[in-house]
Amino acid sequence: MMPRMKACSNEGTRKRTASRSAAMTSQEVVRRASGTLSSDPRSNSLSSRRRCSTVFSDFYYIEYMRNISNIKYIDASYFYQKNLPTKLPTYEAYGYVKKKYKDKDIVIEFIKKISDNHGPKQIIKGLIIPANALVSASKNFKIQELRTIKKGSNVSVTWRDVVYVANKPRIACSIIYSEGILEKIAGSYIVLKKPETIKIYPLPIKNHPLKKPKYYMIPKSFITEVRVIE
Amino acid sequence: MKIKSLPKFFPKNKKNNIIVELTILDDKKNKYKCTGVLMKENNSVLRIGFNARNNTVIDYLDVKIKQILDIKMIKSKEIKNLR
């Protein structure tokens, strides 16, 4: 087989090369045939994409996958010692993004299979992040309940976690339940001391992580529920 | 199948990341596409970085050059930013 690098490396992705056409998935072919995607991506207006999403949700997935994206996000961290950082680490990834309109989670595929029609849920290698994990979304995120909770209280926190996926049919983030002492409330995160943390979705329920940490830094934007417990 | 003249995509003095998209064929003839930062290149392997924590790569893949069907550099204007 002759290498096709010359054509591909010198031309942008907007130009349709022969190699790109050959790599087109069967779903894209169906979509073109159904008239939901023109040959020029610039002609796809946002309104038409939204309209498509209500009718052909799987096709909408594919349209997003045409883009290579640079994603900057945050994640929760746990520690076995007291030397905690003053801010959450920032993560950066490149991949093919799948996100339904107004969906809670963003699926980022680092590797995707193109040789057969394996369905939209299979992830070869990638990660799933809550939409609120994006750096822009996590800044200035406020939780009303935290205003009335004092430091040192025993709290339970339910939150959505970033999950790394390899060869699994996942479409949603993990849901985590933590109990512990509210050690700190910072601008973008809280710290739980002596946390008991379990993963409650997907099943089976198990400790997260397996070895119990001393501290857990949880971004506020990940939290779906926080309560004081006796 | 062998790509004899792989262009050198990894200029040592370049400060910006080089983003590439690869088409890969595995041993079972399955085709894959992957994208990421080109980290390292030698005669037999390309290293593609997918994910970084505080600018340190934590997830990467070493791809054998003989498994690469297609490779292209992605311009920054073609990359969608989600931040």
pLDDT in tens, B23-79: 999 888 888 999 998 888 888 888 899 999 888 888 899 999 889 998 988 888 888
d(CA B3, CA A102): 43
Indicate if the pLDDT at residue A10 is higher than 60: no
Written as one letter, the residue type at A180 is G
Q: Does residue B56 belong to the interface with chain A, where contact is any CB pair within 8 Å?
A: no
Residues 6+ away with beta carbon under 8 Å from A24: none
- Is B12 touching A (CB cutoff 8 A)? no
Averaged over A73-85, what is the pLDDT? 89
Gap between the Cα atoms of B15 and B55, Å rounded = 13
Can you tell me the mean pLDDT for A27-55? 38
For residue A220 the two structure tokens come to: 């506020």
Which residue in A68, A96, A103 has the most chain B C-beta atoms within 10 A of its own C-beta, making it the best mutation to test that interface? A68
Find the residue in B nearest to A9 (Cα). B72
**Tokens 């935290």 label which residue?**
A146
Q: Tell how far CA A103 is from the center of its chain.
A: 10
Could A23 and B31 be called an inter-chain contact, meaning their C-beta atoms sit closer than 8 Å?
A: yes
pLDDT category at A91 given cuts 50, 70, 90 is very high
The average confidence (pLDDT) of chain A is 73
**Is residue A147 over pLDDT 90?**
no
In this structure, what token pair is assigned to residue A193?
Answer: 């001391």
**Residues on chain B touching A116 (C-beta within 8 angstroms):** 30
The reported pLDDT for the residue numbered A205 is 86
Mutate to test the interface with B, among A2, A110, A134 (most CBs of B within 10 A): A110
The alpha carbon of residue B38 is apart from the nearest alpha carbon of chain A, in Å, by 11
Alpha-carbon separation of residue A103 from A99, A122, A131, A132, B67 (angstroms): 7, 18, 8, 11, 36
* pLDDT score of A56 more than 80: no
How many other C-beta atoms can be found within 10 angstroms of the C-beta atom of residue A19?
16
- Indicate the range of A55-69, A200-214, B39-53 predicted with least confidence: A55-69
- Confidence band of A157 (pLDDT split at 50, 70, 90): very high
How far does the CA of residue A230 sit from the closest CA of chain B (Å)? 37
Rounded to the nearest angstrom, the minimum Cα separation between B55 and chain A is: 7
Cα(B15)–Cα(A44) distance, integer angstroms:
34
Which residues are registered as beta bridge partners of A207? Answer: A198
Is the CB of B3 less than 8 angstroms away from the CB of A69?
no
pLDDT band for A207, please (50, 70, 90 cuts).
confident
Instruction: Tell me what pLDDT residue A167 has.
Output: 86
pLDDT at A192: 93
Residue B82: closest C-alpha in chain A: A71
- Chain B residues lying within 8 Å of A97, measured CB to CB: 80, 82
Q: Does B38 touch chain A (CB under 8 A)?
A: no
Average pLDDT of span A62-87: 81
Give the closest residue to A165 by CA, choosing from A116, A208, A202, A132. A202
Alpha-carbon distance of A73 to A89, in angstroms, equals 9
Tokens (6 digits) for B76:
């920054």
Predicted confidence at residue A5, as pLDDT, reads 34
Residue A140: pLDDT band (50, 70, 90) is confident
CB atoms inside a 10 Å sphere around CB A110? 27
* Distances A62 to A36, A72, A97, B10, B25 between C-alpha atoms, Å: 11, 21, 9, 30, 21
User: Residue A100: its pLDDT value, please?
Assistant: 60
Range with the poorest average pLDDT among A34-38, A47-51, A53-57, A115-119: A34-38
Please report the ipTM that was assigned to this predicted complex. Answer: 0.84
In the chain, the amino acid numbered A92 is E
Alpha-carbon distance of A121 to A61, in angstroms, equals: 10
